[in-house]
Amino acid sequence: MDSPQLNVGLIGYGIAGAVFHAPLISTTPGLRLAAVVTADAGRRARAARQHPGAALLPDADALWAAAPDLGLDLVVVASPNRTHVPLAATALRAGLPVVVDKPLAATAAEGEQLVRLAAERGLLLSVFQNRRWDGDFRTVRQLVGSGRLGRVHRFESRFERWRPRLKGGWRELGDPAEAGGVLYDLGSHLVDQALVLFGPATRVYAELDVRRAGAEADDDSFVALTHADGTRSHLWLSATAGDLGPRFRVLGSQGAYVTHGLDGQEDALRAGRTPADPDWGVVPPERWGALRAGDTAEPLPTLPGAYQDYYAGLVRALHGRGPAPVEAGDAVEALRLLEAAQRSARTGAAVQL
CATH of the domain at 12: 3.40.50.720
| pLDDT bracket for residue 75 (50, 70, 90) | very high
Closest CA to 16 of 75, 86, 77: 77
In a domain, 85, yes or no: yes
Verdict on whether the full-model pTM lies above 0.85: yes
Q: Which amino acid is at 75?
A: V
| Spatial contact of 187 and 265, defined as CB atoms under 8 Å apart | no
The whole-angstrom separation of Cα 15 and Cα 23 is 11
In a domain, 1, yes or no: no
Domain co-membership, 74 together with 179: no
User: What does DSSP assign to residue 122?
Assistant: T
Q: Residue 276 phi/psi, 5° resolution? A: -75, -15
| Spatial contact of 21 and 78, defined as CB atoms under 8 Å apart | yes
| pLDDT bracket for residue 170 (50, 70, 90) | low
Query: How confident is the model over 230-258, as pLDDT tens digits?
Result: 999 999 999 999 999 999 999 999 999 99
| pLDDT bracket for residue 285 (50, 70, 90) | very high
Containing domain of residue 112, as a range? 6-130+310-326
How far lies 48's CA from each of 16, 38, 254, 270, 275, in Å? 17, 11, 54, 17, 21
Domain co-membership, 344 together with 318: no
pLDDT computed for residue 20 by the predictor = 98
The whole-angstrom separation of Cα 156 and Cα 171 is 25
Q: For all residues of the chain together, what is the average pLDDT?
A: 96
Q: How large is the average pLDDT for residues 10-31?
A: 97
pLDDT computed for residue 3 by the predictor = 75
The CATH number of residue 247's host domain is 3.30.360.10
pLDDT computed for residue 169 by the predictor = 75
Q: How large is the average pLDDT for residues 261-270?
A: 97
User: What does DSSP assign to residue 177?
Assistant: G
Portion of the chain with pLDDT greater than 70, in percent? 99
| Residues in Cβ contact with 93 at an 8 Å cutoff, skipping those fewer than 6 apart | 117, 121
Quote the radius of gyration of the chain (alpha carbons, Å). Answer: 20
Domain co-membership, 219 together with 236: yes
Domain co-membership, 95 together with 217: no
pLDDT computed for residue 178 by the predictor = 78
In a domain, 86, yes or no: yes
pLDDT computed for residue 167 by the predictor = 80
Complete DSSP assignment for 229-295: TS-EEEEEEESB-SS---SEEEEETTEEEEE-S--SHHHHHHTT--TTSTTTT---GGG-EEEEETT
Domain co-membership, 103 together with 144: no
| Residues in Cβ contact with 267 at an 8 Å cutoff, skipping those fewer than 6 apart | none
pLDDT over 70 (residue 37): yes
pLDDT computed for residue 168 by the predictor = 75
In a domain, 183, yes or no: yes
Q: How large is the average pLDDT for residues 81-89?
A: 97
In a domain, 240, yes or no: yes
pLDDT computed for residue 176 by the predictor = 83
CB neighbourhood size of 304 (10 A): 15
Number of domains in the chain: 2
Complete DSSP assignment for 199-227: --EEEEEEEEE--STT--S--EEEEEEEE
Query: Which ranges in the chain belong to alpha helices (H)?
Result: 22-26, 41-50, 60-70, 84-93, 108-121, 135-146, 181-185, 187-198, 265-270, 308-318, 328-347
Domain co-membership, 288 together with 198: yes
In a domain, 331, yes or no: no
Closest CA to 246 of 264, 262, 225, 267: 262
In a domain, 192, yes or no: yes
The whole-angstrom separation of Cα 246 and Cα 155 is 11
Domain co-membership, 164 together with 208: yes
Domain co-membership, 165 together with 268: yes
CB neighbourhood size of 106 (10 A): 22
| pLDDT bracket for residue 4 (50, 70, 90) | confident
| pLDDT bracket for residue 311 (50, 70, 90) | very high
Domain co-membership, 52 together with 97: yes
Domain co-membership, 211 together with 228: yes
pLDDT over 80 (residue 133): yes
CB neighbourhood size of 262 (10 A): 16
pLDDT computed for residue 214 by the predictor = 86
In a domain, 154, yes or no: yes
Domain co-membership, 283 together with 165: yes
Domain co-membership, 261 together with 153: yes
Query: How confident is the model over 190-223, as pLDDT tens digits?
Result: 999 999 999 999 999 999 999 998 888 899 999 9
pLDDT over 60 (residue 102): yes
